[in-house]
């Protein structure tokens, strides 16, 4: 297509876009989508459970089609990211693809030619935020019909969400899911030249696409996906339906990525997966677990290695032994417990009891005496009794978590827990969350006090958000430290003497002679 044809097509597209937005969508149009591009599918746990034996395809051939390589010249993209690190990292991949297509990034919606909302489905309020944002973007689209607005990420994998967007938000141009990010160039092309909303959501359980470009946020810390999906099927959780089956990247691809990051000067990697310690369980030709991977990464010359999230059920003795070697394997472990009651854990399908969790904590502390533990907790699971909630409170004290992400249970369509009748009033759930947070904050503040007067190693990330004259970074145990020091320390690991402890951060003074040359 030559420039003139492109312009003409663009002109037609603008007019059609305006037409589409002005008219609320007709049922005919929606029906057409469902027949052609999108097959209506509610999250179906029975079907999802059957997928475990499906073979995973590895694809190493990603490239941007020739006609899309310069399509973004003089154009800008903006990606809003909601939810977990997995989504943040997917955004880095999409930013990489846009950059290879010639686009540059912007943070201003009014400057953007493409806006993507990379969404999270984990709780209802996360979804509400996205629908709020979709509404806010409508005037922009009316002003600039050539603007492409897309919705991707976990919400796009839900039938009810796609249905709602098709029916009520015709200013959206593009919906795609978590399994076809690598199709972004094709999808953008279709969205540019089609008169209709493009919906491409694969219910397929997912392959592994290697060699995708990435534009990482920062040059000091990096995320590295080691596996995708989840087969745990906790009864409250939508992730197994939105992210597909558990599938591990090949060890050599992960190790190569980490080595490449070292060569680029990165100082810290966080290995990512919904259940990192289920890594390797899906290999048919290889007996290689998460412990083995950590052992191999331990030998690489990168100062700091973290991982998230680990599941108590898969935390085996081999992994504990490997972590006990220390060195670059940091002794901060995020180990979501969800509840302190064995009965609730059973209803959640977590497959461990309170006692088993406590035994695991004991083993970890025996092997790694200074290990710091943090966790995730859900309060107000359907029919959780006062006594069961109190068991969560006592477990939090007993383990001495130094921080916790705490949530009120949110029913998710298609999950088994969402079908349960719930006799716990919302007000009671809120009070439980309040009490739990008070306890967690108290423990966090107490743990911070133990650092006063001590010297800690800090990976310096940059200037503090509140004061550019102050530097900020994290300790090995993920504590935020604000301190006085020279800008030359940014990107390095320095020693800082702690002078003040706050609930969620520490203040200190850098020990100048102790800048490590990395
Ligand atoms: N795979 C990780 C694990 O099992 O520990 C967690 C992944 S999930 C993105 C993060 C946290 O969200 C979970 O640990 C859980 O506490 C919380 N969560 C998941 N589904 C939820 C729901 N329906 N309502 C409230 N919190 C939920
Ligand atoms: Fe969700 Fe459970 Fe899988 Fe974590 S392990 S992602 S909570 S189903």
Query: What pLDDT is stored for residue 203 in this prediction?
Result: 73
Beta bridge partners of 77: 105, 114
Mean pLDDT of 212-228: 96
Do residues 260 and 299 lie in contact, with contact meaning Cβ atoms separated by under 8 Å?
Answer: no
- Burial environment of residue 109 by CB neighbours within 10 A (0 to 12, 13 to 18, 19 or more): middle
pLDDT tens column, 81-120: 999 999 999 999 999 999 999 999 999 999 999 999 999 9
Question: What pairing do the DSSP bridges indicate for beta strands 480-484 and 471-475?
Answer: antiparallel
Mean pLDDT of 181-186: 95
Ligand 1 site, residue 274, Cβ cutoff 6 A = yes
Q: Read off φ and ψ for residue 8, nearest 5 degrees.
A: -60, -45
Angstrom distance (rounded) from CA 301 to CA 258: 9
What is the band of 171 on the pLDDT scale with cuts at 50, 70, 90? very high
- Is pLDDT at 205 greater than 90 in this prediction? no
Query: What pLDDT is stored for residue 32 in this prediction?
Result: 39
Locus of tokens 């912007």 = 106
- Is pLDDT at 129 greater than 50 in this prediction? yes
Ligand 2 atom with minimal separation from the 311 CA: 5
Name the residue of 274, 309, 334 whose CB sits within 8 Å of the most ligand 2 atoms, as the mutation to test its pocket: 274
Residues 163, 167, 170, 172, Cα dihedral to 10°: -20
Ligand nearest to the CA of 412: 1
Mean pLDDT of 127-156: 95
What is the band of 342 on the pLDDT scale with cuts at 50, 70, 90? very high
Name the residue of 45, 229, 275 whose CB sits within 8 Å of the most ligand 2 atoms, as the mutation to test its pocket: 275
Query: What pLDDT is stored for residue 33 in this prediction?
Result: 40
pLDDT tens column, 3-20: 455 445 545 455 555 555
Do residues 448 and 487 lie in contact, with contact meaning Cβ atoms separated by under 8 Å?
Answer: no
Ligand nearest to the CA of 405: 1
Query: What pLDDT is stored for residue 40 in this prediction?
Result: 42
- C-alpha 405 to ligand 1 mean position (Å): 9
Name the residue of 240, 247, 279, 338 whose CB sits within 8 Å of the most ligand 2 atoms, as the mutation to test its pocket: 240
- C-alpha 360 to ligand 2 mean position (Å): 19
The residue whose C-alpha atom lies closest to atom 5 belonging to ligand 2 is: 232
Ligand 1 atom with minimal separation from the 309 CA: 2
- C-alpha 473 to ligand 1 mean position (Å): 27
The residue whose C-alpha atom lies closest to atom 1 belonging to ligand 2 is: 237
Ligand 1 site, residue 499, Cβ cutoff 6 A = no
**Ligand 2, residues at Cβ distance < 6 Å:** 230, 232-234, 237, 239-240, 274-275, 311
Mean pLDDT of 200-225: 90
Query: What pLDDT is stored for residue 236 in this prediction?
Result: 97
- What's the whole-number average pLDDT of the chain? 90
Ligand 1 site, residue 412, Cβ cutoff 6 A = yes
| Secondary structure string (H, E, C) spanning 384-440 | CCHHHHHHHHHHHHHHCCCEEEEEECCCCCCCHHHHCCCCCCHHHHHHHHHHHHHHH
Percent of the chain with pLDDT over 90: 83
Ligand 1 site, residue 388, Cβ cutoff 6 A = no
Ligand 1 site, residue 116, Cβ cutoff 6 A = no
CB count within 10 Å of CB 82 equals 21
Angstrom distance (rounded) from CA 510 to CA 502: 18
Query: What pLDDT is stored for residue 137 in this prediction?
Result: 96
- Is pLDDT at 34 greater than 60 in this prediction? no
Ligand 2 atom with minimal separation from the 349 CA: 2
pLDDT tens column, 358-407: 999 999 999 999 999 999 999 999 999 999 999 999 999 999 999 999 99
Do residues 127 and 121 lie in contact, with contact meaning Cβ atoms separated by under 8 Å?
Answer: yes
Do residues 155 and 121 lie in contact, with contact meaning Cβ atoms separated by under 8 Å?
Answer: yes
pLDDT tens column, 239-286: 998 998 999 999 999 999 999 999 999 999 999 999 999 999 999 999
- Is pLDDT at 466 greater than 50 in this prediction? yes
Query: What pLDDT is stored for residue 195 in this prediction?
Result: 77
Query: What pLDDT is stored for residue 206 in this prediction?
Result: 74
Structure letter (DSSP) for residue 161:
H
- C-alpha 122 to ligand 1 mean position (Å): 7
Ligand 1 site, residue 410, Cβ cutoff 6 A = yes
The verdict on pTM exceeding 0.85 is: yes
Ligand 1 site, residue 123, Cβ cutoff 6 A = yes
- Is pLDDT at 435 greater than 50 in this prediction? yes
- Burial environment of residue 74 by CB neighbours within 10 A (0 to 12, 13 to 18, 19 or more): exposed
Ligand nearest to the CA of 338: 1
pLDDT tens column, 485-516: 999 999 999 999 999 999 899 999 999 765 55
**Nearest CA-CA partner of 287 in 319, 251, 323:** 251
Name the residue of 178, 336, 405 whose CB sits within 8 Å of the most ligand 1 atoms, as the mutation to test its pocket: 336
Do residues 201 and 159 lie in contact, with contact meaning Cβ atoms separated by under 8 Å?
Answer: no
Ligand 1 site, residue 349, Cβ cutoff 6 A = no
Query: What pLDDT is stored for residue 516 in this prediction?
Result: 55
Give the residue with greater pLDDT, 38 vs 228: 228
């Amino acid at each position: 297509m030559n420039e003139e044809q492109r312009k003409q097509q663009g002109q037609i597209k603008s007019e059609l876009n305006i037409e589409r937005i002005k008219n609320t969508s007709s049922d005919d149009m929606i029906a057409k989508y469902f027949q052609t591009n999108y097959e209506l599918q509610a999250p179906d746990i029975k079907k999802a459970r059957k997928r475990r034996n499906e073979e995973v395809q590895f694809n190493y051939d990603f490239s941007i089609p020739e006609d899309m390589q310069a399509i973004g010249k003089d154009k800008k993209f903006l990606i809003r990211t909601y939810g977990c690190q997995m989504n943040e990292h997917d955004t880095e991949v999409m930013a990489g693809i846009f950059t290879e297509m010639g686009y540059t990034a912007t943070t201003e919606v009014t400057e953007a030619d493409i806006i993507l909302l990379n969404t999270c489905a984990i709780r209802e309020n996360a979804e509400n935020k996205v629908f709020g944002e979709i509404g806010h973007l409508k005037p922009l689209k009316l002003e600039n019909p050539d603007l492409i607005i897309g919705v991707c990420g976990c919400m796009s994998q839900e039938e009810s969400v796609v249905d709602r967007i098709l029916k009520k938000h015709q200013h959206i141009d593009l919906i795609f899911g978590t399994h076809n990010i690598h199709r972004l160039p094709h999808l953008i092309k279709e969205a540019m030249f089609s008169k209709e909303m493009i919906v491409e959501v694969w219910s397929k359980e997912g392959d592994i696409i290697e060699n995708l470009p990435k534009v990482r946020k920062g040059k000091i810390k990096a995320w590295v996906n080691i596996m995708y999906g989840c087969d745990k099927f906790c009864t409250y959780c939508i992730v197994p339906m939105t992210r597909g089956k558990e599938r591990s990247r090949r060890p050599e691809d992960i190790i190569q990525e980490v080595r490449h990051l070292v060569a680029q000067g990165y100082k810290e990697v966080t290995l990512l997966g919904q259940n990192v310690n289920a890594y390797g369980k899906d290999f048919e030709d290889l007996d290689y677990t998460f412990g083995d991977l950590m052992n191999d990464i331990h030998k690489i010359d990168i100062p700091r290695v973290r991982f998230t999230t680990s599941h108590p059920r898969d935390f085996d003795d081999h992994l504990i032994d490997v972590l006990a070697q220390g060195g670059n394997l940091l002794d901060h472990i995020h180990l979501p417990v969800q509840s302190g009651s064995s009965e609730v854990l059973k209803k959640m399908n977590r497959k461990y009891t309170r006692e088993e969790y406590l035994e695991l904590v004991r083993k970890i502390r025996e092997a790694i005496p200074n290990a710091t533990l943090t966790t995730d907790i859900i309060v107000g699971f359907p029919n959780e009794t006062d006594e069961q909630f109190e068991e969560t409170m006592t477990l939090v004290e007993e383990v001495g978590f130094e921080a916790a992400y705490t949530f009120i249970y949110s029913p998710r369509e298609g999950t088994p827990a969402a079908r349960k009748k719930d006799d716990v009033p919302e007000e009671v759930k809120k009070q439980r969350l309040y009490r739990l947070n008070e306890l967690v904050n108290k423990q966090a503040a107490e743990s911070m006090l133990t650092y006063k007067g001590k010297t800690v190693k800090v990976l310096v990330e940059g200037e503090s958000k509140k004061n550019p004259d102050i530097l900020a970074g994290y300790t090995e145990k993920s504590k935020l430290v604000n301190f006085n020091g020279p800008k030359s320390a940014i990107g390095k690991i320095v020693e800082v003497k702690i002078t003040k402890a706050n609930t969620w951060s520490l203040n200190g003074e850098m020990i100048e002679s102790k800048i490590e040359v990395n």
